[in-house]
Amino acid sequence: MRHEQIETNSGLMLLLILVVISIGGLIEIVPLFYINETVEDVKGSVRPYTPLEMRGRDIYIREGCYLCHSQQIRPFRDEWLRYGHYSLAAESQYDHPFQWGSKRTGPDLARVGGKYSNQWQVQHLNAPRSVVPQSIMPNYPWLLTTALDYSDVADRMRALRWTGVPYSVTQAEYDRNVKTFGKATADLLDITQAQDTLLKQAREGEFDGDPSRITEMDALVAYLQILGTMVDFSQYDEGYFAKFR
């Protein structure tokens, strides 16, 4: 079949496009039915976000941070050396939607948690060029002055619960979280205590430097500081995660 025949016949071209897309889709989908596990076994160390971290993630998405920062370290040596261990599927299992991607106007943030102090994060968000002179990131000064709205945090957790995130409402769900994550974490995931949990974490963490108020900066910094910190890779042998790829 000559290429000219395909170009001049829209029906034929459409049919062949559908065939090619179908083949590509099958190549990606079919192997998943033969893999026992696509999410790595990380021994229960990856947990859902706390109410405060969840609200911080909402703000992260609202402000469009994902447009310039990915959260996906690919399994290439140059990325591993710069950002750390490549991203695991398990680390995003409670993300709805996940923040992967490859567009990086700024650096990848998959493992930014604990890399900088709370004070640095606040200053960087408030006036990026004061700490990174070459930055083209916009300023976000309103995060420091805008009180965090957490009135609907329980409803947000209930919505995520419908997607499979193990936030608890019933005693049975709470007990299951105790078994999976431990009591301290299970308490953080209890929807009935959502507002109290949020306030306690914000005040104890002093993420924006002022414990007398709860701002959007508190939430966003809390979220950034948890990214990439849940899996302790020193507990696993080299090559352990390769069997899941």
- Give per-residue pLDDT as tens, 15-40: 999 999 999 989 888 876 766 667 78
- Give per-residue pLDDT as tens, 75-127: 888 998 999 999 998 999 999 998 998 889 999 999 999 999 999 999 999 99
Q: Are 198 and 156 in contact (CB under 8 A)?
A: no
The neighbouring-strand residues paired with 206 are none
pTM: 0.85
Helix axes 51-62, 194-205, angle to 10 degrees: 80
Instruction: Tell me the helices (H) and strands (E) count for the chain, helix number first.
Output: 11, 0
- Region of poorest pLDDT, from 62-66, 89-93, 157-161: 89-93
| Correct CATH for 51-244 of 3.40.1350.10, 1.10.760.10, 3.40.50.12500, 3.50.50.60 | 1.10.760.10
- Give per-residue pLDDT as tens, 195-223: 999 999 999 999 999 988 999 999 999 99
For position 30, what pLDDT does the model report?
Answer: 82
